[in-house]
Chains A and B, each alone.
Chain A
């Protein structure tokens, strides 16, 4: 046989090198090998229609990823050797990293587990391989984050027990329950939740402007891992869009199921991102863009284009999108107010913005900040200046679904707290919104199981009945080091010493600012 070698194009080569290795089983039944593919009601008639979202063979994967890792670890080493933490804009910035390591990094790990699992579950080999590659990428992210934060942990408080805290601390049940929700769902819902709604629609809001902000605050280690992780994310986002298009194209009966998942996971993601909004508006001393601006670019503009594209499948933008779009003017302020009041029970410090920072907030939020939030903040700043730093000692009511305290307000009435409740099988359940209430109504048997931190404390399941014992013993938060007000904290003093300044117990604030 006379043979001439010709170079394959990327697409053909990739099909030979992935899905062609699969076969139709005959010794075991297909539904026994893939037992989880049916129960969600998604109809897949032909897996061969799957479009590979990216075409990376393992040899290329190893090569490119090793190159990325080499660059990344060179920077980590240089950062640690040169005590790079001393060059950040201000030590307050590190508090965002504490929230990141305890709130986000464990999700990367959960994503690894989730994708490893669905990477086995689909009967389409192309989809399996794409999911497995995301699985190992997510493991990468969880590990590079541990390594990036390792140096900070040696010099700052609150980073020392992130995974332990993620399993226990009250506000960390917000991200944890989000991912538990996705991982406990079926494989198609998992991909709709994480690949599409989270990775494609919302993750830019976390990684792009926030990481750009890290760069702007002199944090070389974080911006490097953040952007290096994002280079994998571009592949994950492509997977997210392909998944949705594939499911929708397979059968018209899939459309209403997917629409409901999009509604649910948009809302759940939007609530989760309240924490990121607060990080951007309050925890970055040097600001890149406001949360509202980021929401406009990365959700309203990009998400708008996306949902317009999906119209042809009969998909509409997520339900309650209008409420989310309006809330961009409020959520970061509401979240920061909450954490400020409960700073005794957090692994990071809180503070009131300086006069200059409040002026920036007024400029970025002309319709809401001065009217609804500034008066409260100035009152708290004044109380603090007079030796009465405010802490709220009443445990808050948590939403049964998103698990955030019911702190959000009604769309058309920012003076009115949004609160919904329903009775299910004789029990009363509380919600922060119609969005969360709808999610409960559809799967009450799931959400009644929620491990609500406040309930758990009251039921005595957290090593003690009083907040101080719970915080110290159960959460592993070092009282007086990790928690409370930033101004005058040991960390603040240390930072002043690094910068060669005198200790400063009182808040930095001029009288004129507080007018």
Chain B
């Protein structure tokens, strides 16, 4: 059998899909590009949703933010699904080895009772905040109208579920997997004065209808103060309370938050930079929510690191927002 392959027949006739070429030119495209741009339906929807007849499916007016092209918001990490799970698989492998080590050496059960009690009161209830964040991000993923935006939020939703699970495992290690510590911790979330402003804030976030307002509130404002407060400041403080071993169990959260800054900053910067109207709207949402986030975290700071630590973080958030063309009530703003 002799098969003569003519060179021209193995040359590609095009380098990428038409919709990718229209954006980036007809050249070989990255996996991120082919997975993320213009694959979502845009027009000619057949039926109005029974649950929201004022809008069509994939309706860009489900937020009051206006973008000429939502695909202008992109992910600096260039996560498509495969890249995302590959990255998280590595992170979980490291976390698994820490949790395994901690479990094997009984690191948590060796802590003083009072310290364990503090973990259950001050840290483990955050698993409920994570579940709220999970719900909010799932809603945003369903409402956002460009894959580049929607996919970042479904990754975020699943991350929050995962981190809620890690926090739960801390309690399961403390109580020897009976669930008693989780019940105790949930009791704090439901009734302890310390958590009520936070629980109210999370429940209020669950009825925010505008998905961009919600991503700003959840992924920038709440996380922007909560993560550094709990996983940096409180982590240091716990170390001083003979709970330094907890630090390796929250490494995932620290790495995760640092990474999330990249895309949340990029997203808000692009949206604020699009128009003065967008910027004004974002500013009004910040004015409304930032003080509430601060007060919701104040009792937690009070009971642990001291309010000065929270004030310092509030200033840092203000600096961060400044770089995005926005302002908040921190001192350095």
Measuring CB to CB, which residues of chain A are less than 8 angstroms from any residue of chain B?
1, 3-8, 12-13, 16-18, 20-23, 25-28, 32-33, 35-36, 39, 57-59, 61-63, 65-67, 69-70, 72-73, 83, 86, 105-106, 109-110, 112-114, 116-117, 119-120, 125, 128-129, 132-133, 135-136, 139-140, 142-144, 146-147, 150, 153-157, 159-164, 166-168, 173, 176-177, 180-181, 183-187, 446-447, 449-451, 456, 476, 494, 497-500
Shortest A508–chain B CB gap in Å is 19
Contacts of A117 in B (CB 8 A): 138-139, 142-143
Query: Which of A22, A69, A186 is the one whose CB lies under 8 Å from B86?
Result: A69
| B203 close to A (CB within 8 Å) | yes
The residue in chain A whose Cβ has the minimal distance to the Cβ of B96 is A59
Write the B90-133 contact mask toward A (1 if CB under 8 angstroms, else 0): 01110110000001001001000100000000000001101100
Contacts of A65 in B (CB 8 A): 85, 89
Write the B155-185 contact mask toward A (1 if CB under 8 angstroms, else 0): 1011101101110110011111101001000
A27 to B85, CA, bound (A): 36
Q: Is the CB of A27 within 8 A of B13?
A: no
What 7 A-B pairs come out closest when comparing CB atoms? A58-B162, A66-B89, A117-B142, A154-B12, A116-B142, A143-B35, A116-B141
| B298 close to A (CB within 8 Å) | no
Shortest A414–chain B CB gap in Å is 31
Q: Is the CB of B39 within 8 A of A167?
A: no
Q: Is the CB of B44 within 8 A of A157?
A: no
| B58 close to A (CB within 8 Å) | yes
The residue in chain A whose Cβ has the minimal distance to the Cβ of B174 is A3
Q: Is the CB of A119 within 8 A of B138?
A: yes
Contacts of A186 in B (CB 8 A): 50-51
Q: Is the CB of B177 within 8 A of A6?
A: yes
Q: Please tell me which stretch of B15-23, B260-268, B319-327 contacts chain A, meaning at least 4 of its Cβ atoms lie within 8 angstroms of it.
A: B15-23
A410 to B50, CA, bound (A): 33
A476 to B22, CA, bound (A): 13
| B154 close to A (CB within 8 Å) | yes
Can you list 16 pairs linking A and B with CB atoms under 8 Å apart?
A: A3-B176, A16-B168, A17-B168, A65-B85, A69-B81, A105-B39, A110-B41, A132-B157, A154-B15, A166-B41, A177-B47, A183-B49, A449-B48, A498-B9, A498-B10, A499-B3
Contacts of A73 in B (CB 8 A): 82
Shortest A40–chain B CB gap in Å is 8
Q: Is the CB of B9 within 8 A of A494?
A: yes
| B2 close to A (CB within 8 Å) | yes
| B135 close to A (CB within 8 Å) | yes
Q: Is the CB of B48 within 8 A of A69?
A: no
A14 to B18, CA, bound (A): 45
Contacts of B165 in A (CB 8 A): 17-18, 57-59
- Total residues of chain B contacting the partner, CB 8 A: 97
Q: Is the CB of B41 within 8 A of A120?
A: no
Q: State whether A181 and B39 are in contact (beta carbons under 8 Å apart), knowing that A69-B85, A150-B16 are contacts in the complex.
A: no
Q: Is the CB of A132 within 8 A of B199?
A: no
Given contacts A112-B154, A116-B157, A497-B9, 7 further A-B contacts (CB under 8 A): A58-B165, A116-B154, A125-B131, A150-B16, A153-B14, A154-B14, A154-B15
Contacts of B4 in A (CB 8 A): 500
Q: Is the CB of A16 within 8 A of B9?
A: no
A35 to B52, CA, bound (A): 11
Write the B7-49 contact mask toward A (1 if CB under 8 angstroms, else 0): 0111011111111000000000101001110111111111111
Shortest B178–chain A CB gap in Å is 9
Shortest B322–chain A CB gap in Å is 32
Write the B69-90 contact mask toward A (1 if CB under 8 angstroms, else 0): 0000000000011100110110
A86 to B176, CA, bound (A): 59
Q: Is the CB of B5 within 8 A of A498?
A: yes
Contacts of A62 in B (CB 8 A): 85, 88-89, 91-92, 162
| Residue from A63, A114, A139, A168 with most neighbouring chain B CB atoms (10 Å) | A139
A16 to B80, CA, bound (A): 30
A379 to B103, CA, bound (A): 76
Q: State whether A168 and B19 are in contact (beta carbons under 8 Å apart), knowing that A5-B176, A185-B50 are contacts in the complex.
A: no
Contacts of A162 in B (CB 8 A): 17, 39
Q: State whether A120 and B135 are in contact (beta carbons under 8 Å apart), knowing that A5-B106, A23-B190, A69-B81 are contacts in the complex.
A: yes
Query: Which of A20, A116, A167, A184 is the one whose CB lies under 8 Å from B168?
Result: A20
A139 to B154, CA, bound (A): 9
Shortest B284–chain A CB gap in Å is 22
| B258 close to A (CB within 8 Å) | no
Q: Is the CB of A66 within 8 A of B14?
A: no
Q: Is the CB of A181 within 8 A of B46?
A: yes
Query: Which residues of chain B (182-231) have a CB below 8 Å from chain A?
Result: 182, 186, 189-190, 199-200, 203-204, 206-207
A166 to B58, CA, bound (A): 14
| B307 close to A (CB within 8 Å) | no
Contacts of B96 in A (CB 8 A): 59
Q: Is the CB of A146 within 8 A of B35?
A: yes
Shortest A281–chain B CB gap in Å is 28
Contacts of B207 in A (CB 8 A): 28, 32-33
A110 to B134, CA, bound (A): 20
A62 to B103, CA, bound (A): 21
A195 to B31, CA, bound (A): 29
A35 to B139, CA, bound (A): 13
Q: Is the CB of A132 within 8 A of B161?
A: yes
Contacts of A173 in B (CB 8 A): 44, 46
Query: Which residues of chain B (277-309) have a CB below 8 Å from chain A?
Result: none
Shortest A473–chain B CB gap in Å is 14
Contacts of A167 in B (CB 8 A): 41-44
Q: Is the CB of B51 within 8 A of A28?
A: no
Shortest B32–chain A CB gap in Å is 10
Q: Is the CB of B39 within 8 A of A142?
A: yes
Contacts of A86 in B (CB 8 A): 5, 10
Shortest B36–chain A CB gap in Å is 8
Q: Is the CB of A183 within 8 A of B138?
A: no
Q: Is the CB of B161 within 8 A of A129?
A: yes
Q: Is the CB of B158 within 8 A of A66?
A: no
Q: Is the CB of A113 within 8 A of B46?
A: no
Q: Is the CB of A4 within 8 A of B169?
A: no
A344 to B329, CA, bound (A): 63
